[in-house]
Structure 1
């Protein structure tokens, strides 16, 4: 047995489906917590001085909806393939950091701290991609758009910090 494996992968279609629903529920919880930390995000974002390359406010919701689906599926694919594994540790860390950023940026208007936090999120996503690559390459590839968007969001966060 591999040292990274903690439990066995699901053996039935029902267990696999329940696992998928579990990953969707956890990621939906992360999205909800992030949303609670950014209740007035639209108004605050509109009031900020933004760089010329900043996206319009309406773009964030559809982008995040797609990314959250891919994040859930990626975690589920790894779990379905190798079970609860150490590869899911950086996954859990990045989920926690993902939930925290809106509270720092929008809730507290702590743009400097949000810049540091999103850099940590970026590193956690990178660690997750590396861990997932060893367990399930498709799962790792599903996280690349999320990592790219976080790169962009990180640059935007730093720009907002310096402009405001």
Structure 2
């Protein structure tokens, strides 16, 4: 049963991740000013593959346990927000709105980590790298916003 659940949770992660293929960074992002510590392009798919495997494992572990309702609700929320950021940031080119989505994602990942931990400590631990990565992504999004005020203003995001 674990492997069936793992497959379902992994499919949810891959569905969220598929937005990266639909809304790739492209020339718009490449031409933005970015901080010197921006990870190279190859890092993103490697990190996300690892994170999706951890997320699916955590979800499958907890789905089998009693009293998992809150953890499963938060898991569902974070994966939905995960899938939303890419179309907002890369598709709509909305840097500030992307930061809002990413902030909500960070909160939902932190809440998911906490809720998973209450049911299964290993599942909670599997979300720690995800929270770290979303923290890095948040700092990167904020830096891109700060370094590109004209692009944010042109998309109607700054008053």
Asked if Structure 1 and Structure 2 have the same fold, meaning a TM-score greater than 0.5 normalized by the shorter chain, the answer is: yes
TM-superposed deviation, 1:128: 0.3
Contact 1:45 1:57 in 2 (8 A): no
CA distance in 1, matches of 2:52, 2:2: 19
Contact 2:68 2:119 in 1 (8 A): no
TM-superposed deviation, 1:42: 4.6
Task: Note the residue ranges of structure 2 that are not aligned, 5 or more in a row.
Answer: 149-159
CA distance in 1, matches of 2:11, 2:123: 18
Runs of at least 4 residues off by over 6 Å: none
**Structure-2 residue corresponding to 1:16:** 2
**Structure-2 residue corresponding to 1:78:** 62
TM-superposed deviation, 1:49: 0.6
TM-score, scaled to structure 2 = 0.87
**Structure-1 residue corresponding to 2:88:** 104
CA distance in 1, matches of 2:5, 2:94: 36
CA distance in 2, matches of 1:128, 1:34: 23
CA distance in 2, matches of 1:45, 1:33: 16
Tell me: CA distance 1:23–1:146, structure 2 relative to 1, closer, same or farther (3 Å): same
Aligned length, in residue pairs? 148
CA distance in 2, matches of 1:33, 1:51: 24
TM-superposed deviation, 1:43: 3.5
CA distance in 2, matches of 1:70, 1:42: 28
Question: Is 2:49 the partner of 1:65?
Answer: yes
CA distance in 2, matches of 1:21, 1:95: 15
Question: Is 2:117 the partner of 1:117?
Answer: no
TM-score, scaled to structure 1 = 0.84
* 1:73-130 CA-partner distances (Å, limit 9, x unpaired): 1111111223762211111111010000011111111000101110110000011011
